[in-house]
Each structure stands twice: as C-alpha cells, then as structure tokens.
Amino acid sequence: MQANHPCSSSPTPGGLWLPLVTPFRDGVLDEASLRRLVRHYAAREIDGLILAATTGEGMTLDEAEVERLVAITTGEMVVAGRRLPLFLGISGSDTRKVVKALEHSAAWPIDGYLVTCPYYTRPSQEGMIRHFSALAESTALPMMIYNIPYRTGVNLGNAAMLELAARPTIVGVKDCSADMAQSLDLLRHKPPGFAVLTGEDALFHTMLAGGADGGITASAHVGTGAFAAVHRLLRQGDASGALTAWHAIADLPRLLFTEPSPAPIKHWLWRAGLIDSPEVRLPMVPVSDGLAGRIDRELERLRATGLDGAGR
C-alpha cells in the first residue's frame, strides 16, 4: 500500500472511538463481514476507529492479515463517503521489534497508532519512558499510549506519562489504569493537546464527567448511539440528559465483559446480522451457552423496544 494519511493532521483525539472487532470465518479473515461492519459504523456517530488492538484480536493476526484489514477498512470508508481517523494497534516487549513494526506500516493509509505498554517484562518507569521515546522518534504519525496494567503487568505512572506527553507525536492515552485516583490526577495535570480517553467501558460516563476527552469503547459496538449521546450531552452541558442516556446502557459493559472480550461482542454482532460468524481465535473461545442465552434475550428486548441492538 502507498502512503496516504488524509487524517494525520487531525486535532487531538477525542469523542467516541470504536476498537473494531476482526471478523473471522473458517479460520480466515471474513472480508465480507468486515466490509459490512465498516459501512455500518461509518454511518454512526463515532469519531475514530482502532484496528488490530485487543478487541480486534490483534495478537492473533499475521502481518498480511493486518495489512489487508487496513486496506479493506480504508476502502470501505471511501465507499461510505466518510473517512474516519484510523489508528492501528501495536504491541510488543522488544523496543526494536516495535520500531520495525512502525516502520513496516509507515506507508499504510493509517493516521496513527495505539501502542500498548510492554507486557510481561515489567520494565521500570525509566525503561518505559525510553521505550516510548524511541517509538516516538521512529514515526511521524501521532501515537496514543495504551496503559492497561492488569493485562501487561506494569503501570505507566503519571510522572512518566506527563514526561512523554511533552513529545509532539505522543498525543494521548487510552487509560485503563484501574486506579480512579491516578486517572483523575492525570486529568488535572495533562497538558493541552494531550488526550485522555478512557478504555474502561463501565467508567465511560464517570470519566467524561471528570474531564476525559472521550473513550475507546468496545461496548459501543452495540450501544453506539447511546454512548455517543452521553458524550455529546456532556459537551453541551446537559449533565442530567447525559446521566439519563448513560443509565439506559450502564448494564451493557457488564454483560459484554461477563466472559473474555471480544467473544460476547462477536456473539451479539452475529445474532444482529452484522457479521456472519461469532468465531474467535484461540486462546479465545466462544461464549458459554448461558451467556449466549442472556445476550440473545437482551437483543430481543431491545428489538421489542424499537431498537435492533446493532449499534443504533
């Protein structure tokens, strides 16, 4: 693919970003379902897409699949007439390999990266500062840090985060620190041009009300319009309306994260007709029969209220 970064000069990330699932069928990338998904969400009130991150099962994708995923997504956005900012999920514990991944994808039609803190090796704060500094120096595209210590085993503290935020290409963080005091302290001290987007679906309203710039929200595959309404109403100063909108979907994250993500979301999307299979790749497994029944009943309940449960 040739270089094409139409959104790379976009402002600081904010609003509702969707970490898109990667549909599979019979062990391979399901291109027909992917095209359907992109067209569907391009018509919704979202502000950006993340590909090949945690929800997109990025660690199970090979390089050719990731490149194909990017090509299809950007192509379908052109067809849909809406070019959303597109960030690519990157992870790894060897700085040299992550730099090579950035260099390998430099010519792809993406607008930035979401880069996970190094996992398993548990580097020091100084080690992570040097890691992300090296990555920032290897790409001209904007980068968001993904801080999720309960997956990686290491927490990027606010002092290190703010030092990295001074770099012009490090434009924000997907905050899954699971420490509300840390998150709120970061919101108080973050510099202009550095975005804090919550990655904790259940805390979407709480973090926005506390000053977060938005969220990267897997549950918004289902409640897209309602999640967008929470963000929009808070920005408009309608705290009461935003809280009412949130109460309508507050139970969704709990349901969709009852078992390891993205299996519950994929089951919902399959039952809603947006993807042709709920298939996930090992070590992920399909949802249990019990959870499948709960999801099916909730989908039918939404349909009975005039919604189809497919992201409206």
Determine whether 174 is an active site residue.
yes
Terminal Cα-to-Cα distance of the chain (whole angstroms): 33
**Among residues 41, 113, 146, 190, which one is catalytic?**
146
Q: How far apart are CA 54 and CA 56, in angstroms?
A: 5
Phi, psi of 100 (to 5 degrees): -65, -35
Provide the sign of the torsion angle of the four alpha carbons 146, 164, 161, 227, taken in this order.
Answer: negative
* Residue 235 neighbours by CB under 8 Å, 6+ apart: none
Query: Do residues 1 and 106 make contact, with C-beta atoms less than 8 angstroms apart?
Result: no
Nearest to 227 by CA among 237, 241, 217: 217
C-beta atoms surrounding 85 within 10 Å: 20
**Among residues 41, 100, 113, 174, which one is catalytic?**
174
Provide the sign of the torsion angle of the four alpha carbons 38, 109, 6, 88, taken in this order.
Answer: positive
HSE, side-chain direction, 13 A CA sphere, residue 178: 8
Kindly write down the DSSP assignment for every residue of 35-70, as one continuous string: HHHHHHHHTSS--EEEESSTTTTGGG--HHHHHHHH
Determine whether 146 is an active site residue.
yes
46 is in an annotated binding site: no
C-beta atoms surrounding 159 within 10 Å: 11
216 is in an annotated binding site: yes
Q: How far apart are CA 130 and CA 95, in angstroms?
A: 9
Q: Which residues are annotated as a binding site?
A: 55, 216
Q: Which residues are annotated as a binding site for pyruvate?
A: 55, 216
Which residues belong to the active site?
A: 146, 174
